[in-house]
Amino acid sequence: MRTVKYFKRHRMELSLRHPLPPVPALPAGFEWLPWDDSLLDLHAETKFNSFRGHEDALVFPSLGTRAGCHNLMGAIRFRVGFVPQATWLVVGPDGCAGTVQGLRDDAGHGGIQNLGVVPECRGLGLGRALLLMALHGFAEARLPRAFLEVTATNDPAVRLYRSLGFRAAKVLYRAVELPDRAALAVGLWHSPP
């Protein structure tokens, strides 16, 4: 038996018409890898390692499997609006640490896709640095505005976005069909609006 649950999400937006804060230096031992097609698998693997077991992997089941993350990366890469300058990987002493991708939408705004830092590397400033690299990439591509969507209960992400000036523009509910056991295990969903 399956249950439909509604996850509350915020669309958050930021004008890119004002100067952005500079990108902070990465901690010692970490470095940037700019987009290259040969990195598609590494982005997918890092996405998988960042979202594995996370609530967002219930909201978007493709984030919860290696194959799903691979398909998602391929779909992002081959979208007409793919913005390579807003797509970055951070690599550390023990391998890939974080990933972000950028997509231009039909309105010409930059959408942040699946910002993720692997659990062992969180709290080091990598999420903020990745987001700023993507925003600078949008600015370089002359996009006037950035946006993203975030699950309302994702405090670390919401705090990060707010601290960089993103503000909630719209509330969305995403309906997800969960098996009953998973629904019970999560316990974080919202009732239908």
Ligand X SMILES: CC(C)(COP(=O)(O)OP(=O)(O)OC[C@H]1O[C@@H](n2cnc3c(N)ncnc32)[C@H](O)[C@@H]1OP(=O)(O)O)[C@@H](O)C(=O)NCCC(=O)NCCS
Q: Label the pairing between strands 145-151 and 110-117.
A: parallel
CA distances from 172 to 106, 151, 168, 192 (A): 19, 9, 11, 11
Does 15 engage in binding with ligand X (CB under 6 A)?
no
Closest distance of CB 176 from ligand X, Å: 15
Does 44 engage in binding with ligand X (CB under 6 A)?
no
- Residue number with CB closer to ligand X (3 or 172): 172
Give the helix/strand (H/E) hosting 117. Answer: strand 110-117
Label residues 121-134 b or e (16+ Cβ within 10 Å = b).
beebebbbbbbbbb
The residue within the footprint of ligand X, chosen from 34, 93, 105, 159 (CB under 6 A), is: 159
The residue within the footprint of ligand X, chosen from 94, 140, 155, 180 (CB under 6 A), is: 155
Site track 105-144 with ligand X (rule: CB under 6 A), x = hit: ----------xxx----xxxxxxx----------------
Q: How far apart are CA 146 and CA 70, in angstroms?
A: 24
Burial (Cβ within 10 Å: 0-12, 13-18, ≥19) of residue 20? middle
DSSP state of 143: -
- Residue number with CB closer to ligand X (3 or 65): 65
Does 51 engage in binding with ligand X (CB under 6 A)?
yes
Map residue 73 onto helix, strand or coil: helix
The residue within the footprint of ligand X, chosen from 16, 56, 91, 183 (CB under 6 A), is: 56
Residues that bind ligand X (rule: CB under 6 A) add up to a total of 22
Catalog residues that contact ligand X under the rule CB under 6 A.
Answer: 50-51, 54, 56, 115-117, 122-128, 150, 154-157, 159-160, 163
